[in-house]
Structures are given as C-alpha cells and as structure tokens.
Amino acid sequence: MRRLALVAALLGGCAVTPPPAATTAAVPVVPAAAETDPVDTAADAADDPSIWRNRRNPAASLVIGTDKKAGIHVYDLSGRRLSFTPAARLNNVDLREIDGRVIAAASDRADETQAHVALFTLDTVAKKLVPLGRYPVGTGEAYGMCLWTRKADKALFGFVVMKDGRIDQVSIDLAGATPVARTVRSMKVGTQAEGCVVDDRTGLLYVAEEDVGLWRFAADPAAPVDGTAIARVDAATLVADAEGLALAPAGRTGGYLVVSSQGDNAYTLYRLPDVTYAGRFRIGGGAIDGTSETDGIDLILGDFGPKFPKGLMVAQDGDNAPETQNFKYVSWTDVMKALRLR
C-alpha cells in the first residue's frame, strides 16, 4: 500500500517526456461494470488479480485474486466468489495455459527471509485452485510475481520481485510428476519494487520500482541482467507508489502498458513499443463505488460477453468501505472510449 513518503526520483535515460500535470478534472472516470464479493479478512488484505479467459465460452471466464492474509479466491464474471483455497501470505499472482493446464503462480511471503513460489492448477470445471506445492527461490521477502511463456519452446518462467528490488527469474518445469522450480538468474532495481508483467510476444519484462518508475529487461535467462529505465514517477502522470502492471497487446509489438498510479488513485497508459505516455483514467462514477490505492491489476483483451466485449480489466480496491477490500471489473471498451484511444 501507499507509503506516506513519496519520492519523485528522476531516472537517467527515460524515454518519456510527460505532459503537464494531470488535474483531477482532466482525468476521465470510467465506471466499474461489476465487483467481487469482499475478501474475508480486514484492513490491507486483497492484493492482486489474474484473469483466465475461457475461449470456448467467454462468459464462463474466471478471475482469481489473493487475500494476502488468508489465501486465494476464484470469482466468476459477476464477481461472485466460487471457491477459496487457504494459503499463508500470498501476495501477487499470475497464470498461463501450458499443454492444456492452467497454471497459477503466486509470490509466497510466509517466510520473510526465504522467498517461495506457490504453484497451483486452476480446475476450470470445478472452478477452484488446486495446490501443487511451495518452492524456495532465494533469500528475501517475495513481493511481486509474473509469468512468461517463451515463444521459441513454450518453456515457462516466473519472475519473483523481492521487496528490496531484487528480481529472481525461476524456471518452472512441469514435465514430471511434481513441478521443479530452479532460479536461473537475478536482476536488480535500486529500491522497493513489486508489480511486474512480461510481454510474451516480445520477451520483455516490465517492473515497477514503486517510488522511482518503470524498468524494462530482456526476459530470456541468457540475456544481460541490466535494465532500461522507461518512465519515471513524476507526481503528474505517474504518482508513487507505482504498483500493478498489465498489458493490452495489439499486433506484433504495439498496444499499451497499464500502471496503477496508486498515489492519486489513477491508472496510467503508455503506448508500446516505444513506451510513450498515452493518458490516464480513474475508476468510479457509476452505481458501483470506484477504486482507490490500487495494488494489483490485470487485463486481458478479447470477448468476455456483453459487459466486456473487447476486454476485461480487474483492479484491486484498497478502500471498499464499509465492506472489506475487493476487486473491481472494468470494460476495456469503456477505457478506450474515455481516453479516445484505438
């Protein structure tokens, strides 16, 4: 969650020259189309969502979301909780389909001195997560988590972002009776980081250093470990903490990178592949309350049924009073209309 001290640090080599400060009146507001049942635990509990799109029946797609004090939930597209899997201190979660299986991976903070990855299969018939086990990564507190499927051979990798900014890349081998997770390299940003996402098309990893800005790394384990600064926290277009990251891909390399600008309850878009500022929006103004202090986000394009004809975005809501925290669903069509983007 947002810390009180906000540092607007400048990064050398940033590709972004932001426009003037975005005032509250200038930021479009997009209504939530649905919201999930609240999580069971109070205070700072809900954290990060991930979306599984059912290609055969888009309206039967599922959303998973972590309660970092209790476990992980599965929701339908109306926001109704379908199942809950207990687990201690899961933070961020991501999923990929591998050989007909839906694999979910979460950063596991149960041991703050020894990071773990918790693996699950998503049973799309029973609509619940089945644990596969916890696997040690490296020393430190596991914070962020994202997955990458390498295009060349469909190998699965995870990136575990430690609270201190180290990023451990983990090879996840699912061929045997039990998974094998092996750390293959480490990278680093200077201060606390969490959100990450990998573009499977381009093999590029994006990481949010909370009070500093966004970084880009090559995802392949044979690539150099140095990152490139691509956008900065400037208290105008991106306000600390920079938190969750998601992608709206278009074509071979285009589309948008979306960032939770937690410090002013907004979401910032950067146009790919050059990562130029494209606009920002907030969630609210409808029959469902809006979002604030968002941690994790996810976004999948495609048909999800009448409410979400071109894509679904899910955002954690840090203040769902008088209920406990939950996740809000937004139509990507509404975001594109509000920002006048294509």
Nearest alpha-carbon partner for 258 in 6, 30, 9: 30
Contacts of 191 (CB under 8 A, 6+ apart): 164, 165, 209, 210, 211, 212
Backbone angles phi, psi at 311, to 5 degrees: 155, 160
Round to whole Å and give the CA distance between 225 and 222: 9
| Cβ contact 188:167 at 8 Å | yes
Q: CATH top-level class for 26-339?
A: mainly beta
- The angle formed by the CA atoms of residues 172, 119 and 301, to the nearest 5 degrees, is 85
Tell me the CA distances in angstroms from 18 to 232, 254, 262, 326, one per residue in order: 9, 20, 18, 32
Task: Count the neighbouring beta carbons within 10 Å of the beta carbon of residue 63.
Answer: 24
Round to whole Å and give the CA distance between 124 and 225: 36
pLDDT tens for the 342 residues of the chain, in order: 434 333 333 343 344 434 444 444 589 999 999 999 999 999 999 999 999 999 999 999 999 999 999 999 999 999 999 999 999 899 999 999 999 999 999 999 999 999 999 999 999 999 999 999 999 999 999 999 999 999 999 999 999 999 999 999 999 999 999 999 999 999 999 999 999 999 999 999 999 999 999 999 999 999 999 999 999 999 999 999 999 999 999 999 999 999 999 999 999 999 999 999 999 999 999 999 999 999 999 999 999 999 999 999 999 999 999 999 999 999 999 999 999 998
| Cβ contact 239:2 at 8 Å | no
